[in-house]
Amino acid sequence: MLSSIDLLVTLHLLSISPKLLLKLSLLGESNKKHAIKLTINKKLT
């Protein structure tokens, strides 16, 4: 869940540049997937 601060920051970023926000969210998603892969690999080894 987004906190109220995250929501404010998101709205602020949206007012600046939707494209920038999209890039940031895509980066965030890929980082999450990468982190999940790392934790799975650590559990397997």
pLDDT in tens, 16-43: 677 776 787 788 888 888 887 888 888 8
Q: Does residue 6 register a pLDDT over 60?
A: yes
Range of the domain at 25: 4-44
Total number of domains in the chain: 1
Identity (one letter) of the amino acid at 15? S
pLDDT of residue 2: 59
Size (the chain), residues: 45
Q: Does residue 1 register a pLDDT over 60?
A: no
CB 9 within 8 A of CB 20: no
Whole-prediction pTM: 0.37
Residue with tokens 């799975």: 40
